[in-house]
Chains A and B, each alone.
Chain A
C-alpha cells in the first residue's frame, strides 16, 4: 500500500450546491433556461431575481418536488434526482409559505421535523432545545405556533431547518412580509450560521439591499443566469457603484425578450 505523495491533489471538494445546465418548461413557456451556478460550502449566496424570474421553479427542483427536464442538481456531490436520500439529508429548507403546524407547539413542530429525518424523540428534543434557544425563543417552546409573530415563526422555521444538521440551507424569500426589525434579525441570524456553523446558505430574494459586497450573487432573470460571482465582481463588471444599480442595469438590458 502506498500512501505516498502520489495521491492526486485532493479532487476539488464538491460544492454545497451545484446546479448544472438545468432547463425546465411548463408546456411551451420556458421557466428555466440552461441555469448553472454553484454555492460553495460555508458561504452566503444570494439568488436575486424579480418575481417570475424562475426562482420558485428552481427551488422546487432543488428540493426534489419535481425533476428538471434537463440538467442536474447536486448537493455535496449527490444527485438530487438519483441519490435523493443522501442529497436531501444534507439539505435544510425554509419555504416561502409558512409551513409550521399552527395548532402544534413550537417543540412539537420540531419533533415532527426530527421524525421526518429519522431522528428519535430524545435526540430531537435535545437538538430542538439548543436550536430554539439559539434563535432566541427558549421561553416560547411550549407555545402554539399560532401565537407567534411572523418574525418568530420564521426563526422557528430556521431552527427547524437546522434540526438534522444539514450543511446546506435554502431559504426562499425568508424576509417576505416581515417588518424592518424582523428582517434584519433574520438576516443576521442566518449570516451567523454561515460563520459559526460553516453552513452553506442559498438565500433567495428580490430585495437587493440584503446583499453585502462579499456575498456571492446569482442574478436570475426570465429563467436565465445573467451573473454569478461575488457581489463586488458583479458590480465591477456592470460598472456600477451599488449592487442595486448593477441589478437594475443587468435586468433592464434584457427587457425586450418576451415569450
Chain B
C-alpha cells in the first residue's frame, strides 16, 4: 500500500449508468423542445404526403387485401406505416448529422470524454434520438386519427410502440454509422439523395411489394433487400396488433449489425474520428 492513499473513486456502477442514460435522453428531449421549427417540419413532412400525395392517389391505387389487413383499406391507411418509418428515418439521419455538427462543435467530445464506456454512450445517444422520434410519431398519429386513420383496435397505439423502438434504433444506428463517414456537415443534400430517397422509394412504404413485382421485378428485388422495407412492415403489422416474424428478425439483425459498426467507427483506436490536420 502506498504511503499516500489515493482517494477512492466511486466505481461506475449500475446506478451511474442509469443516471447517465437518463441525462442523455433528458438533454436530447430538452433540445428538441427548444427547436420548435424542427418539430414542426418533422410533422409537416409526413402530413404533406398524407394530405396531398395519398389523397391524390386514393382513387388511382387500389390496395387489395394483403396481410395484415383483413378488409380493403384506403391508400391513406396503407401509407401511414411508411410515413411513420419516414419520420424515424429523417430523425435518424438528422441526429446523425447533428453528431457530425456536434463533433465539430465539441459537444460530441464532451460526451465521449465521459468515463462511461463508449458503446454505452453511443447507445444512450441513440436511445435519446429514438425517444424524440417516438414523440414525433405519436404527434403524427394524433393528427392522422382525425383523418380517420386508426387501427382496428385502440391497442394498436400500444402494440406499435415496441416496433417503433426497434425500427428507430435500426435507423438511428444506420445514421450513426453514416455520421462517422461524413466529413463535412453541409452534406444533408447528399444524405437525402443517396440515403433517404432511395431507402424510402425502394421499399414497401408507398406501394405493396406485389405491385412493384408486377411493374419491375428488378426493383422488387431491391426492395426485398432494403432494411427499410422491413421497418415499414414491422410497424404496419404492429399497428394492426400483429407480429411479422420475418420483419422482426431482419430489423433486429440489422440493428445489431449497424450498432456494432457504429461502435467500431467511434472506437478511438480505429481512428475514424481523426480529422486530418487536427
Q: Which residues in window 19-42 of B have CB below 8 A to A?
A: 19-20, 22-24, 26-27, 30-31, 34-35
CA distance A111 to B20 in the complex (A): 10
Q: Which residues in window 235-278 of B have CB below 8 A to A?
A: 268-269, 271, 273-274, 276-278
B112 CB, nearest partner CB in chain A, Å: 6
Considering the complex, give the chain A residue whose CB is closest to the CB of B114: A116
Q: Is A149 located at the chain interface by the 8 A CB criterion?
A: no
CB-contact partner of A85 in B2, B115, B274, B277, under 8 A:
B115
CB-CB under 8 A from A84, the residues of chain B are: 115
Please indicate which of the listed interface residues A29, A56, A67 has the most CB atoms of chain B within 10 Å of its own CB.
Answer: A67
Q: Is A118 located at the chain interface by the 8 A CB criterion?
A: yes
Q: Is B56 located at the chain interface by the 8 A CB criterion?
A: no
CB-CB under 8 A from B17, the residues of chain A are: 118
B119 CB, nearest partner CB in chain A, Å: 12
Contact yes or no, A88 B114, CB < 8 A:
yes
CB-CB under 8 A from B24, the residues of chain A are: 112, 115-116
Q: Which residues in window 87-141 of B have CB below 8 A to A?
A: 104-107, 109-117
Considering the complex, give the chain B residue whose CB is closest to the CB of A27: B276
Q: Is B12 located at the chain interface by the 8 A CB criterion?
A: yes
Q: Is B3 located at the chain interface by the 8 A CB criterion?
A: yes
B123 CB, nearest partner CB in chain A, Å: 14
CA distance A98 to B102 in the complex (A): 11
A67 touching B105 in the complex, CB below 8 Å, given contacts A115-B23, A115-B24: no
A23 CB, nearest partner CB in chain B, Å: 14
Q: Is A201 located at the chain interface by the 8 A CB criterion?
A: no
Contact yes or no, A116 B116, CB < 8 A:
yes
Considering the complex, give the chain B residue whose CB is closest to the CB of A57: B278
User: Quick one: CB contact mask for A49-65 with B, threshold 8 Å, 1 for yes?
Assistant: 00000001100100111
Q: Is B15 located at the chain interface by the 8 A CB criterion?
A: yes
CA distance A11 to B112 in the complex (A): 32
Can you list 30 A-B contacts (CB < 8 A)? Answer: A10-B3, A26-B274, A27-B276, A65-B113, A65-B268, A65-B273, A66-B271, A66-B273, A66-B274, A84-B115, A85-B115, A88-B115, A89-B9, A91-B113, A93-B109, A95-B110, A99-B107, A101-B27, A101-B31, A103-B31, A103-B34, A104-B31, A116-B20, A116-B110, A117-B16, A117-B20, A118-B12, A118-B15, A118-B116, A121-B19
A residues sitting closer than 8 Å to B (CB atoms) are 7, 10-11, 13, 26-27, 29, 31, 56-57, 60, 63-67, 76, 81, 84-91, 93, 95-99, 101, 103-104, 108, 111-121, 167
Q: What are the nearest 7 A-B pairs in CB distance?
A: A115-B23, A118-B16, A10-B3, A116-B114, A103-B34, A97-B106, A99-B106
